[in-house]
Amino acid sequence: MPVLQQIPINEYTASGSGTVFPYTFKVPDEESLKVFIDEVLQPSGYVISDIDNNLGGNVTFTVPPPEDSIVRLERSIALVRETDYIEGGPLPAAVLDGDFDRLVMMVQELDATTLRAQGGSGTDAFGRRITNVGTPIDPTDAVTKGWAETTGGSFVADALVHRNAAEDARDLAEDQAESAIDSASAATAAMVGASGFRELTEDFADAAAVSAAAALASEVAATASEAAAAVSETNAAASEAAVAASAAEAALSETNAVASEVAAATSAAEALDHMDDAAASAAAAAAAAGSIDTSQLVQLTGTQTVTGAKTFNDLTVVTEAVDTSTTKVASTAFADRFRSLKLISTGATTATTAGRGALYDATGGITVPNAVFAAGDTFTIYNDTASNLTITQGASLTLRLVGTATTGNRTLAQRGLATVVFLSSSEAVISGGGLS
């Protein structure tokens, strides 16, 4: 296969961890591929693959080259002709192709090392001298050592003259700058002296002003002392009058005390009379009242009329409404069953048995405790704030959200209302508006 157009040099910057580095040119044998790390030829420590492949192959190191080191893979075929053709002898195509391939690869190597550097268009001499360079014409031409020393020497001399002139100008400018600094320092000193004199004058003026103010203050103080003496005299006269008034008030208070004692004795006698009357009324009521033992009743249905004073033992009211159109129940025990909710205004707290049947008007979180309430106990919580509050499930208590299997702490939205009903001392259910 013909040798492709190739540049037989590859360069890489090692990462410190990679071991595989490709070469992108044909290598006829392992001896023809040179491996360098930072310009040092590596005789071993790697394996070469795909020998004699027109597209190249890989160099795999046993140990990764150091980080940031330069790895160069370069083909270098010995500049010798190894095949000797015998006159009249056989001329195999493979041998002839191999020789031509070596010649092309040699030319490629010379082109790469003398005319082009890897990855650029400049010349890399690889430490060799470039000789027989002509006299430069264009600005980009190379120059010889002799031209630089002769023709270039005059340019250097001119440059030195200009440099010396520039240094002289610089020294003169520095001298002038120092003079300007000295002048500025003298001006500053003069200004400081004038400022000091002005400050001294101002100090004298301030002292005079202070003395005048002190004199004025003394005069004012004297006037104030005279006024204070006059006020003290007036206050003494007022004190004498107050003493006389206090004595008169004391006499009046003594007279009022005697009258109060008489009134208290009269009220005590009247209270004893009222107590006697109340005792008599209670005895009469007890004699007139009958007794109904509701333990013998299973259920009262329809409209029931109770006349006279009756005693209800162990009364349980079922949900039938009381007919108030014809009969009024005035019993205190019965009315107590339908009184309004007790209101408990509180911040963050733990519910107690004092809150049975009550409404907690809360401005902080409420904790529902375990082993405090009994089955059937209930209370209601109102969030009387403009933000959420937490209803906390107490330790060892199960607090269920109604209609779900969810347990745990609940959040009551602003102005939300929630009711807690106990199924046992350790289990309760909660429902309400604004509850989540």
Q: What would the pLDDT profile of 209-244 be if each residue is shown by its tens digit?
A: 666 666 666 675 656 667 665 655 766 566 565 546
User: Whole-prediction pTM value?
Assistant: 0.31
Rounded distance between C-alpha atoms, residue 395 and residue 92, angstroms:
100
- Residue 277: φ, ψ to 5°: -65, -40
Q: Which residue has the tokens 């299997």?
A: 405
Q: Which two tokens stand for residue 109?
A: 């190597």
Q: How confident is the model at residue 12 (pLDDT cuts 50, 70, 90)?
A: very high
Q: What would the pLDDT profile of 42-89 be if each residue is shown by its tens digit?
A: 999 999 999 989 899 999 999 999 999 999 999 998 888 878 888 888
Other C-beta atoms closer than 10 Å to the C-beta of 221 total 9
Give the distance, in angstroms, between the CA of residue 162 and the centroid of all CA atoms in the same chain.
64
CATH of range 339-435; options 3.40.720, 2.60.120, 1.20.1260, 3.40.1130: 2.60.120
Rounded distance between C-alpha atoms, residue 125 and residue 11, angstroms:
16
Per-residue pLDDT at 169: 85
Rounded distance between C-alpha atoms, residue 344 and residue 340, angstroms:
13
- Give the DSSP H or E segment for 401: strand 398-401
Q: Which two tokens stand for residue 436?
A: 């989540």
64-76: burial string, b at 16+ Cβ within 10 Å, e else: ebeeebebbbbbb
Q: Where are the domains of the chain?
A: 9-114, 143-238, 339-435
Task: Provide, rounded to the nearest whole percent, the portion of the chain with pLDDT above 90.
Answer: 38
Task: Provide, rounded to the nearest whole percent, the portion of the chain with pLDDT above 70.
Answer: 62
Q: What does each C-alpha distance from 175 to 167, 171, 180 come to in angstroms?
A: 13, 6, 9
Question: Which of 157 and 53 is assigned the larger pLDDT?
Answer: 53
DSSP-assigned beta bridge partners for residue 379 = 420
Q: Which two tokens stand for residue 104?
A: 């092309």
Q: Which two tokens stand for residue 395?
A: 């330790």
* Residue 9 burial (10 A CB sphere; 0-12, 13-18, 19+): buried
Q: What would the pLDDT profile of 17-40 be if each residue is shown by its tens digit?
A: 999 999 999 999 999 999 999 999
Per-residue pLDDT at 393: 98
* Statement: residue 380 has pLDDT above 60: yes
Q: What is the overall mean pLDDT for the chain? A: 77
Question: Any idea what DSSP says for residue 32?
Answer: G
Question: Which of 332 and 210 is assigned the larger pLDDT?
Answer: 210
